[in-house]
Structure 1
């Protein structure tokens, strides 16, 4: 069964693509009346406030028609930023060699949270370098992952 974020991604991706943006990912954070639907977009020329506003209008129209969320929420449209979230195996592949902060749905080899270098991606599994060790994790087990900005 698909998560709400996966269903929303499938629903919103055509609308975002039609505006010539990449839908990086979707997060739905439940918090009662203060729930948040966060939509991350990107473009080869970067993202401006106007870009976010345009996508927000389009996404709002889709959400009004489809009505996929049965609670109150705030819609946020944002660029992925320096600490870019990683959602798919393709994202991990794109950022191989970079450092990521990772939280898992369940422990893998005793680790639930860690920071590691993205080494390889194969068959929906990501291998992270953590110091001298490596850890292979199925993308489906990753709860949240973000790049760690490098300011060097």
Structure 2
């Protein structure tokens, strides 16, 4: 396991009990270097949506625990936010929660000559995701070929 993945796993172990106590869902954790700075991003959600006050509360609680335990050697910026309207669907629980919703899928390589799909998430398995396109066609996409799946935003 890479150092980055170990850090994310440790932050998840620290964050989950705090988030459960506060009735928030942990959506994702990222630990990335941008320029010369490292960023630890924690994405949270709850059924009625996330407010700035929610982000501040979680940042203070998790930040204090991270300072006490100090699992990350280098300095970093902690950011807590909502996953946004066009949230990525990274885990099976995300896919299950959004069955029947409109999604956008981007692939690394073309599937039937197409790399960008938009349609209703109909089903998924360990190996595939099934999208119903606007034409009513069900397209099976190998999960190994998927770079991102996001909720589609309609205006």
Give the TM-score taking structure 2 as reference length.
0.74
Task: Tell me, yes or no, if structure 1 residue 77 matches structure 2 residue 80.
Answer: yes
| Cα distance in 1 for residues equivalent to 2:90 and 2:66 | 21
Aligned match of 1:120: 123
Aligned match of 2:59: 56
SS in 2 for 1:30: strand
Which among 87, 90, 94 is matched to residue 87 of structure 1?
A: 90
Contact 2:128 2:140 in 1 (8 A): no
| Cα distance in 1 for residues equivalent to 2:41 and 2:75 | 14
Contact 2:130 2:138 in 1 (8 A): no
Query: Structure 2 unaligned runs (5+)?
Result: none
How many residues are aligned here?
149
1:72 deviates by: 2.7
| Cα distance in 2 for residues equivalent to 1:113 and 1:10 | 36
Deviation track 1:15-64 (CA, whole Å, cap 9, x = no partner) reads 21111111111122222532222211112232211111000011112222
Greater Rg by CA = 2
| Cα distance in 2 for residues equivalent to 1:112 and 1:56 | 41
| Cα distance in 2 for residues equivalent to 1:43 and 1:145 | 20
Give the TM-score taking structure 1 as reference length.
0.75
Query: Structure 1 unaligned runs (5+)?
Result: none
| Cα distance in 2 for residues equivalent to 1:111 and 1:59 | 45
Aligned match of 2:150: 146
Q: Give the direction of change, closer, same or farther, for the CA distance of 1:114–1:5 in structure 2 (3 Å limit).
A: farther
RMSD: 3.0
Aligned match of 1:97: 100
| Cα distance in 1 for residues equivalent to 2:7 and 2:90 | 10
SS in 2 for 1:12: helix
SS in 1 for 2:36: coil
